[in-house]
Amino acid sequence: MRTFTRVVLCFVLLTISRAVAQETFAPLITENCVAFIHVDFRKVDVDTVRASLQKAGEDFMKGLAFDDRSFKATARELTVELEKLDVLVRPHYEKITKELGINELAIIADMELITQNIPFVVAVPWKDKTDEHFETFIKTLAGLTDSVPPSDFGDTNFARVDNFLLLVPQHPELRKNVTDWTKSITPASANAPILEALKSVSDAEVKFAVAVPEQVRTMIKTAPLPGDVPLEVRNFLMYAAQKIQWASASLTLSYLLGGEPSKNANVLMTVKMAKPADARMIYGMLESLIDLGINAARFGAEMQMRDADFQIPPLAFQFAKGFLRTLLPDVEDDLLIFRVKGDMVGLMRGHTAISVAGTGVALLLPAVQAAREAARRMQCTNNIKQIVLAIHNHHDVHNVLPPLYTVDANGKPLHSWRVQLLPYLGYQVIYEAIRRDEPWDSEHNRQFHNMRIPAYTCPSNPNQGCTYVGIVGEGFKPGTRTFAAITDGMSNTLAIIEVKEGFCWMDPTADITLDELVKGINAGGRAGSFHPGGCNIGMFDGSVRFISDTIDKAVLRALGTIAGGEAFSL
């Protein structure tokens, strides 16, 4: 989907007009929305945009004191390149806006989607559109790249729901998750942080809004930072993540390309803190970080060049510090307002909005941290799904569930059920190489102990080894047992659960008892995980659920039995 991303960026740079309010996409904006970008393509004059780009480029060259010959030659090349871009983009743009009537789009990141490994969706209004419209839209997008076949924009990555067409920039199988999300949406309340952020840039051409829902704050609190992050940076990130309510930024392209300034055109970004004291605290932290960075750079340079003939003069570092301080925000009550200062407007007109984009990315850091854990949790979910699917395949082949462990002639445990599942996880060669008539820790079999089986390890767990177990005496009972024995119902019976302490995946004694399970999740027993707030469990029907640390112990016991007859609900 990188091709589609290029198309979206092309739209942004060539077709941005004055944005209207985001009411069109209100049904898709929830309380869990962490980022929203809105672009409106109405009232666009392509000729004006092209002329502005030409003028901005020429003004930039003049500012760099190009001599007349170089200026004319470079200006001619710029004109040629803009003409090529015009020929490529204009007919497709006019087809999309005039023939299809698509005048705006939104890029939405929502925590409910992020936890399903979907970082964002691109939403296009699609009311009263037909299959013929969709086919035209796909072919037009492909035409914008001048090289990519329409099949690359095929139906598999689009979900058509209600009045929207949604691009799913991940595996096509996740399209159903997006469709289910739209059916369960509860639109955000009028005072939701994401909507407050959007209101602050209501007259901008392109609006960027970021919010930090409580769900994200909870994840950030427990998300580990690399050990080499300086304490000052660590404190800043953690404090900012907990105190920022929302942030917004606007891209007023016409002003940056040489047009007349609009209201608040010099405002790059606004950050809303919980209270005025938090805004002042963040400002002080930013000042300290500038000092820290410059002092570290100066010390590093002096150490690196101490034996060199040339030394960087202290004035260079003082100049750098002064420049960085021009980027500090103004503090107005509980707001931090980042503004274009001095002649930075001229510089930005030459480079368009690179600095705005960089600032916007920095704003998303808390959400990115949360998204990384969400991706790891999604991978953990997929691991458990693979394991339970392997259990089903084993049952289909042998008409029994895999035993908790195999035994020798004397009844001594030999190998875990995890070894028995290797052929159904794609590890037939390893399975055959293991001497299954010898104990798991025999001299020959020890060579496999450190072999990594990705499906057996949660990516959020920093410990080495396997992190998934079954319940001793229940589903994985030594001997033979079929699905028919699970009379509590396979959708109500736990097959796999996470543990925090890693162990060798071959160990036949590593699973936990029902009594150990009932001690609780992350509550002193082995059951638990490094996912904030709980752990994943796999049911015998193949579904995976996330259970909370606070789950009732009676419910845990009911989940852990296969024929207890308990009545409960998650």
What values do phi and psi take at 190, rounded to 5?
-60, -30
pLDDT of residue 475: 63
Find the range with the poorest average confidence among 62-66, 122-126, 164-168, 326-330: 62-66
Confidence of residue 479 (pLDDT cuts 50, 70, 90): low
pLDDT in tens, 25-59: 889 998 889 999 888 777 666 777 777 777 777 77
pLDDT tier for residue 421 given thresholds of 50, 70 and 90 = very high
Report pLDDT for 318: 83
Residue 554 has pLDDT above 70, yes or no: yes
Q: How far apart are CA 536 and CA 544, in angstroms?
A: 7
Segment 155-176 shows an average pLDDT of: 75
| Residue 420 in this model has a pLDDT that exceeds 90 | yes
DSSP 328: P
Segment of 202-206, 256-260, 501-505 carrying the highest mean pLDDT: 501-505
User: In the prediction, which pLDDT does 349 show?
Assistant: 47
**Residue 144: what pLDDT?**
57
Q: Is the confidence at residue 92, as pLDDT, over 60?
A: yes
Distance from C-alpha of 33 to C-alpha of 212, rounded to nearest angstrom:
8
Band of pLDDT at residue 340, cut at 50, 70 and 90: low
Q: Is 476 helix (H, G, I), strand (E, B) or coil?
A: strand
Confidence of residue 105 (pLDDT cuts 50, 70, 90): confident
Q: In the block, which residue shows the tokens 């854990």?
A: 373
pLDDT of residue 536: 93
Instruction: Identify the pLDDT of residue 235.
Output: 78
- Count of other CB atoms within 10 angstroms of residue 546: 16
Task: Take residue 466 and report the two structure tokens written for it.
Answer: 């396997």
Residues 147-159: pLDDT tens digits?
Answer: 444 444 445 578 8
pTM here? 0.52
pLDDT confidence of residue 177:
83
Q: At residue 414, does pLDDT exceed 90?
A: yes
Q: What is the pLDDT of the chain when averaged over all its residues?
A: 79
What is the number of residues in the chain?
570
Give, in order, the Cα–Cα distances in Å from 336 to each of 114, 272, 330, 360, 362: 28, 7, 6, 14, 15
Is the pLDDT at 467 greater than 80, yes or no? yes
Q: Which residues contact 85 (CB under 8 A, 6 or more apart)?
A: 14
**pLDDT (0 to 100) of residue 305:** 65
CA distance 171 to 118: 9
d(CA 21, CA 3): 28
Please report, for residues 228, 243, 279, 531, the alpha-carbon distance to residue 224 in angstroms, rounded to integers and kept in the order given.
Answer: 12, 18, 25, 11
Per-residue confidence (pLDDT) for residue 535, from 0 to 100: 93
The confidence band for 442, taking pLDDT boundaries of 50, 70 and 90, is: very high
Helix (H) or strand (E) holding 478, with range, is: none
Report helix, strand or coil for 267: strand
DSSP state of 470: -
When pLDDT is cut at 50, 70 and 90, the band that residue 91 belongs to is confident
Q: How confident is the model at residue 365 (pLDDT cuts 50, 70, 90)?
A: very low
Looking at 116-130, 353-367, 400-414, 531-545, which range is the least confident one? 353-367
Using pLDDT thresholds of 50, 70 and 90, give the confidence band for residue 10: very low
Give CA–CA dist 96/102, Å, rounded. 6
The pLDDT of residue 4 is: 42
Identify the residue with better confidence: 221 or 441.
Answer: 441
Above 70 in pLDDT, residue 120?
A: yes
Q: Over range 258-267, report the average pLDDT.
A: 56
Q: Is 141 helix (H, G, I), strand (E, B) or coil?
A: helix
Predicted confidence (pLDDT) per residue in 240-255, tens digit: 888 889 998 877 655 5
User: Is it the case that residue 301 has pLDDT exceeding 90?
Assistant: no
Q: In which band, very low, low, confident or very high, does the pLDDT at 130 lie, cut at 50, 70 and 90?
A: confident
Q: Per-residue pLDDT tens for 496-550? A: 999 999 999 999 999 999 999 999 998 878 999 999 889 999 999 888 899 988 8
